[in-house]
C-alpha cells in the first residue's frame, strides 16, 4: 500500500539509523525504494546490505552520474513510483515510531471527506536535532512561525509550508507527477505542494513525526527563519528578497507551462498573472499581489516583499 522513496548520496554516516527507524514503525505495510545519486563513499554498499536482508521490501538503484541535487533525484523517483500512498524520506533523519501511522490516519480522514480520487497531501511538524540527536527545537513549526492553514494555491506560489521529509500523498496526487520534468522548480516539496493545492487538498499532522537532523551537509536545512536578526536582514537585503521572489515567479511559470490546460480556472489565472509580474509596472505588480492575496506570512516578511517590488 505504501511506497517510501529515499534518495541517498554520501550518507554513510547516518543512513543506517534512518533505515532502521523505518523498520521500527508501528505500521510495516510498506516497500522502501532507494535511489543512490552515485555516492563516492560506502553508502551504496550499506543499502545493498538492506536489499539483501529484506529482498521483498527494499529495492535499490543507482544513477550512472550524479543528478546534481536532491530535488532532481527526488522528482525522478516521484515520477516513476506510484502506489496507494507515497512517502518521501531523507537519508539522515530518524522517523518516530508512529510517523506512518499518524500520516496514514490523517490522509484516510481526508479521503473520507473528499474521496480517494481527490489528490491529497499530508505533512507534519518535525523536531530539529543536531548531529548527535540533541534537540535544537522541539517544533519546527513554532520555531519558524509557520502556519499550516496557509495551504491554498495563492499562499504557496510565494511561500512553501511543506517539508518534503514529512510528506505522505495518495495515488491521485502521485499520478499528477509527470514524467516530463519541470523546466524550473525551487524544491521538489514546494512543487508537490503546488500540485496538491491546485488540484486537491493539503492536510497536516500538527505534532512532530520525525527528528530532522541539522548538520553542515544538509542541502536545505531547517534553519532559523524567524529570529529578529534574520528578519531584520531580510527587511533590508532587497537583492536577496528580490532574487527569492524572482525564483517564485519562475517556478510558477514552469508550473503553468506543465499543468496550464488542466488547471482550475482560478489557479490558471493566478499563475499567469503571478508569473508575469517581472514584466509588469510597479503599480500593476502591487495590484496582482492584492487581487489574489499573495502575501508572505508575517508582518516583516510582507513589508520586505512590498519594498522589493516597488
As a whole number of angstroms, the distance between CA 284 and CA 93 comes to 44
As a whole number of angstroms, the distance between CA 200 and CA 144 comes to 25
User: In sequence order, what DSSP letters do the residues of 81-110 get, joined into one string?
Assistant: ---SEEEEE-TT-EE-TTHHHHHHHHHHHH
Residue 310: the pLDDT is 77
- Provide the 10 A C-beta neighbour count for residue 54: 14
Residue 307: the pLDDT is 87
User: Any residues with CB less than 8 A from the CB of 181 and at least 6 apart, and which?
Assistant: 72, 75, 76, 79
Beta bridge partner(s), residue 201: 120
Residue 280: the pLDDT is 95
What value does the mean pLDDT take over residues 75-102? Answer: 97
Q: Does the pLDDT at position 225 exceed 70?
A: no
Written as nine digits, the cell of 223 is 534553519
What are the tens digits of pLDDT across the range 241-293?
899 999 999 999 999 999 999 999 999 999 999 999 999 999 999 999 999 99
Q: What value, to the nearest 5°, has the Cα angle with vertex 104 and ends 161 and 208?
A: 45
Q: Does the pLDDT at position 231 exceed 60?
A: no
Q: Which residue has the cell 529495492?
A: 59
CA distances (Å), 211 to each of 130, 133, 264, in order? 9, 8, 37
What are the tens digits of pLDDT across the range 25-52?
999 999 999 999 999 999 999 999 999 9
Written as nine digits, the cell of 34 is 532507494
Q: Does the pLDDT at position 227 exceed 50?
A: no
Confidence of residue 308 (pLDDT cuts 50, 70, 90): confident
Residue 215: the pLDDT is 77
Does the 2-213 domain belong in CATH 3.40.50.1110? Answer: no
Domains of the chain by residue range: 2-213, 228-309
Q: What percent of the chain has pLDDT over 90?
A: 84
> Cα 169 from chain centroid?
11
What is the dihedral sign for C-alpha 10, 12, 14, 18? positive
**Helices of type H across 96-156:** 99-114, 140-143, 153-156
What are the tens digits of pLDDT across the range 141-168?
998 888 999 999 999 999 999 999 999 9
Amino acid at each position: 500500500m505504501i511506497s517510501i522513496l529515499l534518495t541517498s548520496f554520501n550518507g554513510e554516516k547516518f543512513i543506517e539509523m534512518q533505515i532502521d527507524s523505518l523498520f521500527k514503525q508501528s505500521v510495516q505495510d510498506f516497500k522502501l525504494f532507494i535511489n543512490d545519486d552515485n555516492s563516492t563513499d560506502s553508502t551504496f554498499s550499506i543499502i545493498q546490505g538492506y536489499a539483501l536482508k529484506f529482498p521483498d521490501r527494499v529495492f535499490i538503484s543507482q544513477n550512472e552520474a550524479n543528478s546534481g541535487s536532491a530535488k532532481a533525484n527526488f522528482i525522478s523517483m516521484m515520477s516513476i513510483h506510484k502506489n496507494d500512498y507515497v512517502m518521501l524520506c531523507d537519508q539522515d533523519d530518524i522517523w518516530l515510531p508512529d510517523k506512518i501511522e499518524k500520516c496514514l490516519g490523517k490522509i484516510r480522514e481526508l479521503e473520507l471527506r473528499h474521496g480517494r480520487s481527490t489528490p491529497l497531501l499530508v505533512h507534519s511538524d518535525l523536531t530539529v536535532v543536531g548531529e548527535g540527536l540533541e534537540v535544537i527545537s522541539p517544533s519546527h513549526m513554532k520555531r519558524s512561525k509557520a502556519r499550516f492553514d496557509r495551504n491554498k494555491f495563492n499562499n504557496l506560489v510565494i511561500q512553501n509550508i511543506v517539508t518534503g521529509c514529512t510528506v505522505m500523498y495518495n495515488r491521485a496526487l502521485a499520478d499528477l507527477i509527470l514524467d516530463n520534468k519541470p523546466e524550473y522548480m525551487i524544491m521538489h516539496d514546494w512543487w508537490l505542494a503546488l500540485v496538491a493545492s491546485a488540484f486537491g487538498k493539503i492536510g497536516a499532522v500538527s505534532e512532530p513525526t520525525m527528528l530532522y537532523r541539522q548538520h553542515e551537509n544538509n542541502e536545505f536545512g531547517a534553519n532559523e527563519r524567524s529570529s529578529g536578526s534574520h528578519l531584520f536582514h531580510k527587511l533590508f537585503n532587497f537583492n536577496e528578497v528580490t532574487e527569492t521572489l524572482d525564483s517564485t515567479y519562475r517556478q510558477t511559470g514552469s508550473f503553468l507551462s506543465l499543468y496550464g490546460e488542466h488547471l482550475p480556472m482560478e489557479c490558471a489565472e493566478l499563475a499567469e498573472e503571478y508569473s508575469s509580474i517581472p514584466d509588469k509596472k510597479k503599480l500593476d505588480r502591487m495590484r496582482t499581489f492584492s487581487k489574489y492575496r499573495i502575501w508572505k506570512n508575517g508582518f516583516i516578511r510582507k513589508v520586505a516583499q512590498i519594498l522589493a517590488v516597488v
